[in-house]
Amino acid sequence: MHETSIAMGFLESLSQLLEREKAKKVVKVRVRIGKLSGIVVDSFVFAFDALKGQFKGLEETELVVEESPIRYRCNSCGHEFTVETVFFPECPKCGAVDLKLLSGEELQVIDAEIEV
């Protein structure tokens, strides 16, 4: 379960943020995880919650996850669209398969609320 190592690295980064900002604790952190990122959201949340007690100032941190949809732009007609499946998408407007991925692979911090 690689979500555990991702959560551990994420918690270590939050711990460094506390040191750098000379803050007491992280109250809440929001992250965006794309459906193509390879991360199982429930496993990531479970690992985060299980491990956060090992870090001073993160014991009560609330994790909020926003899932990012799989979104493409058709290089033929310019139409932007969202899909649920990752298998061989095609443009619903013109049927082309020459697509540019716009979102879905993200793993990013949106913001963090800290207490100083």
Q: Which residues contact residue 95 at a Cβ distance below 8 angstroms, ignoring those fewer than 6 apart? A: none
Question: Residues annotated as binding site?
Answer: 2, 74, 77, 91, 94
Angle at which helices 2-21 and 41-51 cross, to 10°: 50
Question: Residues annotated as binding site for Zn(2+)?
Answer: 74, 77, 91, 94
> CA-CA distance, 49 to 44, in Å (whole number)?
9
> How big is the CA angle at 108 (ends 46 and 82), to the nearest 5 degrees?
95
User: Do residues 35 and 66 make contact, with C-beta atoms less than 8 angstroms apart?
Assistant: no
Question: Residues annotated as binding site for Ni(2+)?
Answer: 2
